[in-house]
């Protein structure tokens, strides 16, 4: 399901700045801008200075995609991920690179996860990447995105953009329909003591919707029905162990992602909790690893191929000038699909 999201627009800057804009700002011809920015002869020093000043004011960046059409160079997409050890990102990277190859585009992968990366390092990494690619796609730290205004300098598509920028070009995920489908399945199966494993001490949108659902349905909830840990296999084991100890009567659990859910399956197996007879488990993401465990993991699947395709379509439109750099015309929303296997 794809929806266009409404938000206000800035008519002047809601498109890429072109060489014509620079020429108009500097009061010269387009050809003069080209010669000045490429240090070509027959441009006076004063004119060149005026052109460079105009380009700086407008935050003009030469269109490498257009240059590539002339020089035979491929468009390059910078794909930014939070942690490449999470299988979600390699699977999405595979989909993105395959679809980019179909367009004769290349993808440059950037992993922000190494522990040496503080926020300053992340800014430097993204600045360096932006100089070498035609557009950025991926996951960006909120404070870095806001302070550096990446989308104002290079076409950029944010994935899962809820906490980054409501104006950003984006492919976002509406979690509510999928979480409701998972919880509805638990209830329809006669399970009413439902727990939640989250990834933050502060509730994620997934946990907030879980709480609202239980309240709406009149089902039991307490702080003992929730646990959280980091978004890893080991985190899933730890959270599930705590949750079983503090909420032993639990008969179903929704887990923040599939990696944690696989850890939960292991924890329950060690504790003698039968899945799904004693406790049903549903993860979120739809990763291939869910089919490599026993019992196979039920999950809320996001179509990573569709996510990649929408992102590249937006990039294509922004590079060509057919789409603005931000606003409702470059925003898409996707939803999960409930995939039932053996664990629920």
- pLDDT 10s digits, 253-289: 999 999 999 999 999 999 999 999 999 999 999 999 9
User: Which of the 8 DSSP states describes residue 115?
Assistant: T
Q: Is the dihedral of CA 122, 8, 307, 172 positive or negative?
A: positive
* pLDDT tens sequence across 61-76: 665 544 444 444 578 9
List, as one string, the DSSP characters of 26-45.
Answer: HTS-HHHHHHHHTT-SS--H
Residue 124 shares a structural domain with residue 181: no
Residue 22 predicted with pLDDT over 70: yes
Q: What value does the mean pLDDT take over residues 87-114?
A: 91
Write down the pLDDT at residue 117. 47
Residue 237 shares a structural domain with residue 146: no
Residue 257 lies in a domain: yes
Residue 161 shares a structural domain with residue 309: yes
**What's the distance, CA 207 to chain centroid?**
19
Q: How confident is the model at residue 4 (pLDDT cuts 50, 70, 90)?
A: very low
List, as one string, the DSSP characters of 303-326.
Answer: -HHHHHHHHHHHHHHHHHTSS-SB
Q: What is the mean pLDDT of the chain?
A: 85
Residue 212 shares a structural domain with residue 296: yes
Bridge partners of 335, per DSSP, are 174
Residue 154 shares a structural domain with residue 204: no
**Domain count of the chain?**
3
Residue 314 shares a structural domain with residue 167: yes
Residue 248 lies in a domain: yes
Residue 8 lies in a domain: no
Write down the pLDDT at residue 165. 73
Residue 263 sits in a domain whose CATH number is 3.40.50.2300
Residue 92 predicted with pLDDT over 90: yes
Residue 207 shares a structural domain with residue 264: yes
Higher-confidence residue of 60 and 211: namely 211
Whether residue 292 contacts residue 266, with contact meaning beta carbons closer than 8 Å, is answered with no
Q: Which helix (H) or strand (E) holds 152?
A: helix 150-153
**Of the listed ranges 221-225, 268-272, 322-326, the one predicted with least confidence:** 322-326
List, as one string, the DSSP characters of 220-278.
Answer: ---GGGEEE--SSHHHHHHHHHHHHHH-TT--EEEESSHHHHHHHHHHHHHHT--TTTT
Residue 206 shares a structural domain with residue 243: yes
Write down the pLDDT at residue 16. 66
CA dist 26 and 139 (Å) reads: 36
Structural domain of 278: 175-301
Q: Which two tokens stand for residue 266?
A: 């292991």
Residue 86 shares a structural domain with residue 150: yes
Residue 235 shares a structural domain with residue 265: yes
Whether residue 151 contacts residue 165, with contact meaning beta carbons closer than 8 Å, is answered with yes
CA dist 277 and 258 (Å) reads: 20
CB-facing half-sphere around the CA of 98: CA atoms within 13 A: 12
Q: What is the pTM of this model?
A: 0.77
Residue 341 lies in a domain: no
Q: Which two tokens stand for residue 187?
A: 């209830």
CA dist 239 and 85 (Å) reads: 19
Residue 344 lies in a domain: no
Q: Which two tokens stand for residue 136?
A: 């950025």
Whether residue 132 contacts residue 78, with contact meaning beta carbons closer than 8 Å, is answered with yes
- Boundary residue ending a domain (28, 57, 86): 57
Residue 201 shares a structural domain with residue 233: yes
Residue 12 lies in a domain: no
CA dist 99 and 79 (Å) reads: 13
CA dist 170 and 328 (Å) reads: 9
Residue 264 lies in a domain: yes
CA dist 32 and 45 (Å) reads: 12
Instruction: Give the β-pairing of 106-111 and 156-159.
Output: unpaired
CA dist 5 and 314 (Å) reads: 14
Residue 81 shares a structural domain with residue 156: yes
Residue 309 lies in a domain: yes
């Amino acid at each position: 399901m794809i929806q266009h999201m409404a938000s206000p627009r800035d008519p002047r800057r809601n498109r890429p700045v072109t060489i014509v804009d620079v020429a108009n700002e500097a009061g010269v011809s387009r050809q003069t801008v080209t010669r000045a920015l490429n240090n070509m002869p027959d441009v006076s020093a004063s004119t060149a200075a005026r052109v460079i000043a105009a380009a700086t004011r407008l935050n003009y960046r030469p269109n490498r995609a257009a240059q590539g059409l002339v020089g035979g160079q491929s468009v390059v997409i910078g794909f930014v991920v939070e942690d490449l050890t999470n299988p979600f990102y390699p699977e999405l990277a595979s989909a993105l690179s395959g679809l980019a190859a179909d367009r004769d585009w290349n993808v440059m992968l950037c992993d922000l996860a190494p522990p040496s990366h503080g926020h300053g390092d992340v800014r430097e990494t993204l600045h360096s990447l932006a100089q070498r690619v035609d557009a950025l796609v991926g996951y960006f730290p909120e404070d870095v995105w806001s302070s550096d205004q990446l989308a104002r300098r290079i076409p950029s598509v944010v994935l899962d953009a809820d906490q980054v920028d409501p104006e950003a070009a984006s492919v976002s995920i509406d979690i509510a329909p999928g979480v409701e489908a998972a919880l509805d399945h638990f209830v329809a199966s006669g399970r009413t003591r439902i727990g939640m494993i989250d990834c933050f001490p502060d509730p994620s949108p997934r946990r907030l919707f879980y709480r609202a659902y239980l309240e709406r349905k009149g089902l039991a909830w307490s702080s003992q029905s929730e646990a959280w840990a980091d978004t890893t296999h080991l985190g899933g084991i730890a959270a599930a162990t705590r949750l079983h100890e503090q909420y032993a009567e639990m008969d179903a659990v929704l887990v923040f992602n599939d990696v944690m859910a696989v850890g939960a399956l292991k924890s329950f197996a060690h504790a003698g909790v039968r899945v799904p007879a004693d406790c049903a488990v549903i993860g979120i993401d739809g990763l291939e690893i869910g089919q490599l465990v026993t019992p196979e993991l039920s999950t809320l699947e996001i179509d990573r191929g569709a996510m990649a395709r929408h992102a590249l379509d937006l990039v294509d439109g922004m590079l060509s000038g057919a789409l603005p750099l931000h606003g409702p015309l470059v925003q898409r929303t996707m939803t999960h699909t409930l995939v039932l296997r053996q664990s629920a």
